[in-house]
Amino acid sequence: MALDKNGIAKRIAKELKDGYYVNLGIGIPTLVANHVPEGMTVEFQSENGVLGMGPFPVEGEEDADLINAGKQTITVKDGASFFDSAMSFAMIRGQHVQLTVLGAMEVSENGDIANWKIPGKMVKGMGGAMDLVASAENIIVAMTHTNKAGESKLLKSCSLPLTGVGCVKKIVTDLAVLEVSPDGGFILLEVAPGVTVEEVKSKTEGKLIVPDNVSEVAL
Amino acid sequence: MNKVVNSAEEAIKGIESGMTLMLGGFGLCGIPENCIEALTKTDISGLTCISNNAGVDDFGLGLLLQKKQIKKMISSYVGENKEFERQMLSGELDVELIPQGTLAERCRATGAGIPAFFTPAGYGTEVAEGKETREFNGKMYVMEHAFDAPFAIVKAWKGDTEGNLIFKATARNFNPLMAMAGKITIAEVEELVPAGELDPNAIHTPGIFVQRIFQGEKFEKRIEQRTTRQA
C-alpha cells in the first residue's frame, strides 16, 4: 500500500539526527515534527524568526505575535529564540540549518526543483523556498509520486519555472524513497509496502536507477 | 531633538504620492497597523510598497490596495488576498517577487551601506535573469542590490523617547531591517516609555535608526491562521 501523508512524514523523520536544526516547509513537511524518534532532540526553525518551535497552542492561548512561516499560531519550547529575518536567512544560507524538508510540484533527475509557480495561474510568490533550496546541505523533498492527472513528478527535466538547480538530495513519495545520483538519475532506495519496482518505474519519467537490492520502506 | 510624535497622522507627514515605502511585518504579524490606517485616510496614491506580504483583503496593506493607493508591491509572498489578485491580473498593480532571504538581506544592506551582495538564492531561475552572476568557491551566486526608500514604517512592542525599540516574539521579523533602511523611519509601539526605562542590554533596534516614534492608539493584532491543538 502506498504511503499516506503521515507515512511520508514518518519515513522522513527517520532521516533526522540528534541535535539537528531543521526547517520544515508547509504541507506534508510540517507533519515530520509529529514523528521525531523517541529520545532525540531536534530543533525546528521557522524562517519568520524562531528557533525551537513547539506544538500548536491550546485554545485560548494563541498569541498574534507568535506564528510560524505558514502564519499559524504556535508555541515555543524551553530554549527557544527569536530573531529578525536577515539573521534567520543567515542561519539558512550559512548552512547552520542542517536539513530542509519541502514539498515540490516537480523534481528533475539532476536535482532541480520546481515548487513556486504555474504559468497562467495566480503566482503567490516563492517566499523563502529559493533561499532554502539554494543553501541547505541536505534537502529532502516530500511529495506524491504523480500529480492529480496521474503524470510523473519525477522528470528528466522540470517543465515548470525552477525554484533551484541541482539541489535536491533525496525524495520521499507515497511510492518510494529515491536519491538523486550525482551523475543524474533517481536511485531507487526503497519501495512502499506492496508497491512494486515496476510500478515506480512506470510512474517515473526521469531516469530510474534500480540497484540489485531495493528494500521495503520500514516505518 | 524630539522624536516623539503625537499620532499616526503626524508620523506619516511628508509621505507623498509616488514614493517608495518599506513596511515591517510578516503576514499580519508585527505590521504597523496604525500608520497603515492613517495612510488610508489620505489621498496619497501611486505608492511602491516593499513588504514581505501584502496583507489580507480587509486588513494590513490590503486596506491600501482596496483604496488603490498602491501601484507596485515588492514582496516574497502575496497570497490570501483576492483584491490583490484581481488588481494584479488586470494589470492595475505591478508586482515584483523576491526570495524572502534576499528581500531581508536587501533591506539590511540598504541600512548598512552595502550597495550590493551575492546570494545563491535564485541562481538558475527566472529571478536571476538579467542579473550579474559569479562563481565563488565552485558555487554560483547572483548579485542583488540594496533598496533606496525615503520612508520605513515599523511596529515594535516597546520603545522609548530616544527611539530604541524592543520587539516581541516573531513580530520582530522584517521590522529591525526596515528600520535600518529608511531615510526616515517611523516606529509605532504598543508602549512608549521615557528614555532610561528600557534596559540597554535588551534593545533590538538602537534609536539611531528611528526618527519618529509614537504609541499606537490601538492594536488589533489580527491572527491570520488561528491554529490550536486539543488540550
Give the minimum alpha-carbon distance from A105 to chain B in angstroms, rounded to a whole number. Answer: 15
Sheet holding B116-119, edge to edge: B116-119, B139-145, B133-136
Average of pLDDT values for B111-126? 98
Residue A26 CB coordination number (10 Å): 15
pLDDT tens string A140-188 = 999 999 999 999 999 999 999 999 999 999 999 999 999 999 999 999 9
Find cell 491600501 and name the residue.
B64
| Residue-level pLDDT at A102 | 96
Between CA A57 and CA A77 the distance in angstroms is: 11
For B229, which of A55, A125, A135 is closest by C-beta distance? A55
Q: Taking the CA atoms of chain A, what radius of gyration do you get in angstroms?
A: 17
Cell of A167: 539541489
> Within 13 Å and on the Cβ side, how many CA atoms surround B62?
18
H or E element that contains A24? strand A21-24
Indicate yes or no: CB of B29 within 8 angstroms of CB of A48: yes
Find cell 492608539 and name the residue.
B217
Indicate yes or no: CB of B121 within 8 angstroms of CB of A161: no
Chain A residues close to B168, C-beta within 8 Å: 65
**What pTM, to 2 d.p., does this model score?**
0.97
The pLDDT of residue B107 is above 90:
yes
- The interface pTM score, or ipTM, of the predicted complex is 0.97
Q: Taking the CA atoms of chain B, what radius of gyration do you get in angstroms?
A: 18
Pick the CATH number of B8-118+148-215 from 3.30.930.10, 3.30.450.40, 3.40.1080.10, 1.25.50.10: 3.40.1080.10
Indicate yes or no: CB of A57 within 8 angstroms of CB of B77: no
Between CA B106 and CA B144 the distance in angstroms is: 7
Closest Cα in chain A to B76: A127
